[in-house]
């Protein structure tokens, strides 16, 4: 039996994702597709547009059979930790293949690059340290250091964002010593961060979010760029809550926390380091909005996403000590399943290496406490006054089940 895994955020699930998923099943001949999906806060340090439950629905309607949550502890981290967590989940769930999108589209080019870098490791690491010492961010230093070791044409270009992710996935596969086979599909859209629609039906999630956050809330404008099911779910969310989740909704809370914390207390928060605490507090006192705050805090030393992730940890009050408990997810939090996914679970879950969590009440675990807390905070992002009976209550939510249409 072939089981393909994908590592996703689906923020939101769009035509490019649908294409990748179809190709992933096609090229691997998989019977079942499993997604390791970030929860409510994402790797770029942003709240997801819509909740993980709505995004799990999008995934199921788009053809995924099982959606497992990538826990907060991995989802809100740099690429390396993110990749480790996601690959570990796919491995625990019995995947035989991992399929990722890349600018390269050629899986051999990744292995060649990895072998080459292993051979030139000391020079590569020295270059990275050199660029870091010049005050640039880590991803930038990595890209520059990579170019300096003069990679061949046959290697994946690690200065491209999706190639870097793929590179990290393969390194995780090796590190975790799984038997999963990696495959890659060339991305159909333009650059990951391209903000302008590049074609009639394929656009980056970034450009879709930009349209959704524009002043008029241009839902119509994204209709051609996402599957009908995604569009319907976006409309439903907007009708219910009147807005999509964005940092703007959380800014009052972030600011409130920053202006009531002592620097010493703030320094206990994960990723608040090197005196950043004083800078964060003094900017919070001045800034008029989250965008304004980020502009003030930003330095060459930190990437925008690294700083946004730090803000997520401050918002959720996640301490350094809480993020150091484990190196791999030790549960599979089930967000959704198709009929095929349910059958797969029934037959296979006794062979899984970690427990599947369908109901929170039956499971106690330090790591999952972070997921619960982050969901409560996430819920404050829309209509905070309407929580008559418990906010962001993960205990009441059951996995979404999508039976086959008869």
In angstroms, the CA 298 to CA 189 distance is: 29
Q: Using CB under 8 A, which of 286, 351, 362, 406 touches a second copy?
A: 286
Which is closer to a second copy, CB of 91 or CB of 375?
A: 375
Please state the closest distance from residue 218 (CB atom) to a second copy, in A: 23
Map the footprint of a second copy across residues 300-319, applying CB under 8 A: 315-317
In angstroms, the CA 10 to CA 38 distance is: 8
Q: Using CB under 8 A, which of 385, 404, 405, 406 touches a second copy?
A: 385
Please state the closest distance from residue 375 (CB atom) to a second copy, in A: 10
Which is closer to a second copy, CB of 200 or CB of 388?
A: 388
Map the footprint of a second copy across residues 323-382, applying CB under 8 A: 373, 376-377, 380
State yes or no: residue 279 binds a second copy (CB under 8 A): no
In angstroms and rounded to an integer, the radius of gyration of the C-alpha atoms of the chain is 21
In angstroms, the CA 348 to CA 192 distance is: 35
Q: Using CB under 8 A, which of 1, 119, 235, 259 touches a second copy?
A: 259
Q: What is the dihedral of CA 96, 68, 104, 212, to 10 degrees?
A: 160
Q: What's the helix, strand, coil split of the chain in %, to 5?
A: 50, 10, 35
State yes or no: residue 285 binds a second copy (CB under 8 A): yes
120 appears as a binding residue in the annotation: no
The 3-state DSSP class for residue 262 equals coil
The 3-state DSSP class for residue 189 equals coil
Q: Which stretch binds a second copy (CB under 8 A): 87-95, 272-280, 283-291, 345-353?
A: 283-291
Which tokens sit at 149? 């070791």
Which is closer to a second copy, CB of 264 or CB of 362?
A: 264
State yes or no: residue 261 binds a second copy (CB under 8 A): yes
Which is closer to a second copy, CB of 80 or CB of 265?
A: 265
Q: Which residues contact 377 (CB under 8 A, 6 or more apart)?
A: 250, 253, 315, 316, 392
Which tokens sit at 341? 């996914």
Which is closer to a second copy, CB of 196 or CB of 387?
A: 387
Binding mask 387-406 for a second copy (x = CB under 8 A): xxxxx-x-------------
Binding mask 195-234 for a second copy (x = CB under 8 A): ----------------------------------------
State yes or no: residue 253 binds a second copy (CB under 8 A): yes
Which is closer to a second copy, CB of 285 or CB of 362?
A: 285
Closest by CA position to 270, among listed 300, 294, 306, 301: 306
Please state the closest distance from residue 312 (CB atom) to a second copy, in A: 12
Please state the closest distance from residue 384 (CB atom) to a second copy, in A: 5
Count other Cβ atoms within 10 Å, centred on residue 379.
Answer: 20
Q: Which residues contact 22 (CB under 8 A, 6 or more apart)?
A: 63
What residues does 6 pair with on adjacent strands? 35
In angstroms, the CA 318 to CA 329 distance is: 17
DSSP 47-78: B-SS-HHHHHHHHHHTT-SEEEEE-HHHHTS-
Q: Using CB under 8 A, which of 29, 135, 242, 252 touches a second copy?
A: 252
Please state the closest distance from residue 392 (CB atom) to a second copy, in A: 8
Q: Which residues contact 215 (CB under 8 A, 6 or more apart)?
A: none
Residues lying near a second copy in the complex (CB under 8 A) are found at 252-253, 255-257, 259-261, 265, 285-286, 288-289, 315-317, 373, 376-377, 380, 384-385, 387-391, 393
Binding residues for ATP: 7-20, 101, 162, 187
């Amino acid at each position: 039996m072939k089981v393909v895994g994908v590592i996703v955020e689906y923020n939101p699930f769009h035509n490019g994702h649908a294409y990748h998923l179809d190709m992933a099943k096609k090229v691997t001949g998989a019977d079942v597709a499993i997604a390791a999906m970030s929860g409510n806060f994402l790797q770029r340090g942003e709240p997801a547009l819509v909740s993980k439950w709505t995004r799990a629905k999008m995934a199921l309607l788009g053809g995924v059979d099982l959606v497992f949550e990538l826990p907060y502890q991995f989802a809100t981290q740099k690429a390396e930790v993110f990749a480790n967590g996601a690959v570990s989940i796919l491995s625990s769930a019995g995947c035989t293949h991992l399929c990722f999108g890349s600018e390269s589209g050629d899986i051999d080019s990744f292995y060649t690059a990895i072998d080459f870098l292993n051979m030139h490791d000391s020079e590569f690491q020295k270059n990275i340290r050199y660029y870091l010492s010049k005050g640039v961010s880590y991803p930038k230093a990595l890209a520059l250091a990579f170019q300096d070791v003069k990679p061949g044409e046959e290697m994946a270009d690690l200065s491209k964002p999706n190639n870097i992710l793929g590179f990290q996935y393969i390194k995780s596969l090796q590190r975790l010593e799984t038997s999963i086979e990696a495959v890659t599909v060339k991305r159909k859209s333009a650059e990951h961060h391209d903000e302008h629609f590049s074609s009639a039906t394929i656009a980056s999630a970034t450009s879709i979010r930009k349209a959704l956050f524009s002043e008029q809330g241009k839902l119509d404008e994204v209709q051609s760029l996402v599957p009908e099911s995604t569009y319907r779910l976006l409309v439903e969310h907007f009708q219910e809550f009147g807005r999509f989740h964005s940092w703007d909704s959380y800014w009052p809370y972030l600011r409130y926390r920053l202006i009531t914390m002592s620097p010493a207390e703030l320094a206990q928060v994960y990723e608040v380091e090197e005196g950043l605490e004083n800078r964060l507090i003094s900017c919070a006192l001045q800034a008029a909005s989250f965008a304004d705050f980020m502009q003030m805090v930003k330095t060459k030393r930190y990437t925008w996403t690294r700083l946004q992730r730090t803000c997520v940890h401050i918002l959720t009050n996640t301490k350094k000590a809480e993020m150091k408990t484990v190196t791999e997810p030790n549960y599979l939090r089930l967000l959704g399943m198709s009929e095929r996914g349910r059958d797969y679970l029934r037959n296979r879950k006794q062979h899984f290496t970690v427990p599947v969590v369908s109901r929170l009440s039956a499971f106690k675990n330090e790591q999952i406490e972070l997921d619960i807390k982050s969901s409560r905070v996430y819920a404050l992002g829309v209509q905070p006054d309407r929580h008559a009976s418990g906010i962001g209550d993960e205990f009441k939510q059951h996995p979404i089940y999508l039976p086959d249409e008869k």
